[in-house]
Structure 1
Amino acid sequence: MNLGTPYRIAKHLKISKRSVNLWINRYEEERELQCKVNANGRPSLTTENEDFLLTCSAVVNNFDNSLAIAGNAGLAHFSQNSISRRLTKSGMHSRVAAIKDILTEEHRAARLHFARRYVHYAIEFWRWVIFTDEKSCAAIHNAHHTREWLALHPQLVALDWPTKGADMNPIENIWGYLVCKLTKARTEEGMPYHACDANNANLLFELVRTEWGKLQ
């Protein structure tokens, strides 16, 4: 996450540019972002500055949990729920770190071979290709039940997709596009309506199908 200038940081955190410059200067001088406390043990900073500290700590220590993030900012006296609420309010959301596959030379060679083989295929060919994103097919059509299903449907021919080539599947980008569209969806009255607000599976399906239809 790189917000760039103090102006953009202030706009993102919804605080004054003066507060941003204050903490940037303090970090350059003291090389720390610790919350100072007064004699009675209560934080002397305003909520605005506390939010800024937490957000800075989250950006710098983006693999830490919320308690560790607060501790690094000198705000360990806050509860975990309070820390999470403040970070969410600042636009920070918890995520599970992605586990990346390690590509060997054989994997790279197979990916390159696949790309070179199909690079000149006409668009009409790809119109007949069904791209899937099923976890059960993660073994590149080697799962037992997948082989059985394909055997029962001889009219379907599986492409020789390379091992460790899931990221080459264009359906990955389609899902990301649909999620973006769903989060911007509007009701008939023009009010924001997010997919997470769907209170049943049928309603969510209708939202997805509507946006999917717009892709055609």
Structure 2
Amino acid sequence: MRQTDNGTTTNNPQSGRPRCTTADQDRAITSAISANPSSTTTTIRAQQNLSCSAQTIRNRFYQSGRHGRRPAYKPELTECNMEHRMEYALLYADKPPSFWNTVIFCDEKTFSTDDDWMSWHPDIKVLPHHPKSPDQNPIEHIWAAMTRRCAQNNDNQRSRSALIRNALTAWEELSKPEGQALTQSVVASMPSRLNSVLDEGGGHTKY
């Protein structure tokens, strides 16, 4: 016990919501997920007899320094899809990293490509990226990294403002050396990604 400033050994009132799991439960959560990575949070909660939320279980795992992995989403590819992927790879597989450093990657339609807009920006070229090619878009790795950082920064507050704060913090961390190293690494992987498409005949790759 530690004597407090008020001359007693009682705990002073503390601010903030108390943790809903104990240290032993935190270790049990981490061990259970590590032993069976395909386990769902519902299963873990039932096995460990926990009353906390699924998000809390995920938070405890992330806070332990581990990272969960979702199975990679691989859209169904038709023969036509594979042909288009091959065409794109043949066009750009030999481009150097300096070329990819000038490309803006996005995973949603956030830029208009109508004739008027393009006529005002003749210096901008839209690459013929195939829509069913998440493995050819390095921004997927950036969003995954941001999701992990948001989970690590989660303080069990579920309000909209807390979500925005965590998202902004995660985004700002990308400008730090570690974040910059990640973005540079995934962008530099574009030649390898496209060569993998060629190796697989337009099919799915490891990315």
Please confirm whether the aligned pair reaches a TM-score higher than 0.5, indicating the same fold. Answer: no
TM-score category, normalised to shorter length: 0.3 to 0.5
Higher relative contact order (CA 8 A, sep 6+): 2
User: Rg bigger for which structure?
Assistant: 1
Q: TM-score normalised to the size of structure 2? A: 0.44
